[in-house]
Structure 1
């Protein structure tokens, strides 16, 4: 492992540590998303408490947090196995952000962004899976859980070199959804509701 690879691990974590949900909430004067709605600083909760525009900004930035470090590392010639672990570090930054008291989100969008440079075919299958589940159930958490559980198997078929780190990433995301899983089993999980912008 080279010094450049270690530098990219650190850079991915630091970029992931920038909480777009909290920053966008401050910009739109929505309050701290960790204390509102579901309490998760992510795009879905911002959609609930702030509407489509702030949620879209959060989603785009969270995806880029995963895409940029992986793609830049690819351009720098870092080995494929390390690219996947750079993706893991970006997601760890989102989950445990250095700049926000290690209280972060669940890294679904960041994980998706990190997978984009690994292959558009793989990313497309994951987003289609997410879309089908969200359409059928309206549960954002269930769509995320199903998508990340399928991701390692799709990776094994399409990009086998990345299957192990994608599996690690998927396990981390499922663990971050443990409370959602309990609420889903108990029938207490909230479905997506969009806040209408105030006139």
Structure 2
């Protein structure tokens, strides 16, 4: 059953909310504008708050659905985190869009909320707090990502195997943000426009 769940999670993760939303709202393809990244932050740049919120929610839902299905089928926490990783990888490497996807933060929030809603809420609180203070989306996301494995470990009854999978996913988020990290280090990273 796990291989089927993982395959399903990857396929639903591969649906690019950003590309679909931009097409429906007659906006430019997010892969060709702004940061060229099909994610909520870039959609905010090119299409405004409404389009970005729809993208954020859509990416979160596509991460949550397979995890909730795994849970409903009696999957343990390790199974849920493996399914979560598959949905995340679908977003980052979508089979429907030439394996070139977003950076995965919105989908990661969705899988966290479905796996353990307290961990997901913690991620969002940290993200919002840092964003309000520093006004830089990538630093907010990376700070929340860095703290997530620790929070997850203690809120999951210290399930080490599941925490390993969450940690791997978090490491992947840092990898997808490597260009952002370079810009942060050089002081060139763009700020969030209010």
Query: TM-score if structure 2 supplies the norm length?
Result: 0.95
Q: Distance in 1 between matches of 2:148 and 2:179?
A: 21
Q: Between the two structures, name the one with larger relative contact order (CA 8 Å, sep ≥ 6).
A: 1
Across the aligned residues of Structure 1 and Structure 2, the Cα RMSD in angstroms comes to 1.0
2:90 is the counterpart of 1:103:
no
CA contact (8 A) 1:48 1:192 kept: no
1:36-115 alignment, distance < 5 Å: 36-115=33-112
- The one-character-per-residue Cα deviations of 1:115-162 (angstroms, maximum 9, x if unpaired) are 112222211211111111100111111111111111001111111222
Query: TM-score if structure 1 supplies the norm length?
Result: 0.93
SS in 1 for 2:57: helix
Give 1:79 shift.
2.4
1:197 corresponding residue in structure 2: none
5+ residue gaps in structure 1? 195-199
2:179 is the counterpart of 1:182:
no
Q: Distance in 1 between matches of 2:67 and 2:87?
A: 9
Give 1:64 shift.
0.4
CA contact (8 A) 1:63 1:112 kept: yes
Give 1:57 shift.
1.0
Q: Distance in 1 between matches of 2:125 and 2:76?
A: 28
2:122 is the counterpart of 1:125:
yes
CA contact (8 A) 2:37 2:102 kept: yes
2:12 is the counterpart of 1:15:
yes
Q: Which aligned runs of 4 or more in structure 1 are off by greater than 6 angstroms?
A: none
1:140 corresponding residue in structure 2: 137
Query: What is the aligned residue count?
Result: 191
CA contact (8 A) 2:93 2:100 kept: yes
- The one-character-per-residue Cα deviations of 1:89-115 (angstroms, maximum 9, x if unpaired) are 000000000000001001101011001
Give 1:35 shift.
1.2
Give 1:65 shift.
1.0
SS in 2 for 1:92: helix
